[in-house]
Amino acid sequence: MHRVLLPFEFFEPKTVEEAVRLLDTANSKVMAGGVDLVLKMRLRLISPETVISLQKISGLDYIESNPAGLILGALTSIRQIELSSLVQKNWAVLYEAVRQIASVQTKTMGTAVGNLCVGTPASDIASPLLVLGAKVKIAGIHYEKVVPIENFFIGVGRTILEPNEIVTEVFVPGVPAGTGSAFLKSAKTADDIAKVNAAVMVTVTDKICKDVRIALGSVAPTPIRATEAEHALKGQRLDETMFARAAEAAAEAVIPISDIRSTAQYRKEMVRVLVKDALVKATGNATA
């Protein structure tokens, strides 16, 4: 840990166009809230020559909804999402996840898009957005593209973003009727990074699982969908036996690592526990 940062050139573009043009060297970094970036600079994990702040681009901190879904801007803070009654009411799994991020200061400074762009497999924002089927909008020089969040992460700390690209917004589709959700995480303390997190969204008709999505954090190089568990559940009657079978399938499929926060064995075991608990909770919400 270093007391001071190494010097860098600093730019505050006023438009997205200007920002992507400035991001022209491998050693330039884009900053939204700065929580992760400044921390990594203090730790000297990175020492960019150029920092490009998005904070002076006006109108990027929105939470909007339309009949199709919810739209979050690149500068929308995690705290804004937590305090949004719209999110709480209609995108419960995202609300539950951001609520469990403890520090008010971190949530106030940190942005949801920034959190995704860090590319950490332990993201508490990525798992709910994976089950919600979110899409990220990416801006480059003279183009925009929209990518499903499933294709956004490619490795630990790595996303599909090219040097000249930034994420400008995230689109989250509406949740179908009869759907329940849950987000659970296991961490050393409430304030810590997750050892494992699990997000579940299940659509139920007459006690039959019409659709289910399960996402896991901190058990692979990227946030992942537990597709084996999803297949085990789809079209099945939702009961304790099926929940246990799906949880087993999820645990079997993951190949986590051991690190400072947990061991591979414990993580695998916690996948079983969290997936089962989250399925029970989500199914309860769906039929409530």
Partner 1 sequence: MRRPRRREMRKERAKFIVNGRSYEVIIEPHMLLVDVLREKIGLTGTKYACGTGDCGACTVLVEGKPVLSCLTLAVTARDKNILTIEGLAEGTTLHPIQQAFVDGGAVQCGFCTPGMVLSAKALLEENPKPTRDEIKEGLAGNLCRCTGYVKIVDAVEAAAETMGKGGRS
Residue (39 or 154) nearer to partner 1, CB: 39
Residue (14 or 231) nearer to partner 1, CB: 14
Using DSSP, state whether 10 is helix, strand or coil: strand
In the numeric block, which tokens belong to residue 129? 């957005």
Rounded (10°) angle between helices 264-287 and 240-253: 140
Minimum distance, C-beta of residue 285 to partner 1, in the bound complex (Å):
21
Minimum distance, C-beta of residue 99 to partner 1, in the bound complex (Å):
9
Minimum distance, C-beta of residue 15 to partner 1, in the bound complex (Å):
18
Residues in the chain: 288
Residue 133 Rama label (left phi>0; alpha psi -120 to 50; beta)? left
Residue (90 or 100) nearer to partner 1, CB: 100
Residue (51 or 136) nearer to partner 1, CB: 51
Chain residues in the site for partner 1 (CB under 8 A): 1, 3-10, 24-25, 31, 34-35, 38-39, 42-43, 49-51, 53, 55, 79, 102-106, 108-109, 190-191
- 230 and 214 Cβ atoms separated by less than 8 Å: yes
Minimum distance, C-beta of residue 165 to partner 1, in the bound complex (Å):
17
Minimum distance, C-beta of residue 218 to partner 1, in the bound complex (Å):
18
Residues with Cβ < 8 Å from 53, sequence gap 6 or more?
Answer: 10, 11, 12, 30, 31, 34
Residue (28 or 197) nearer to partner 1, CB: 28
| Bridge partners (DSSP) listed for residue 64 | 71
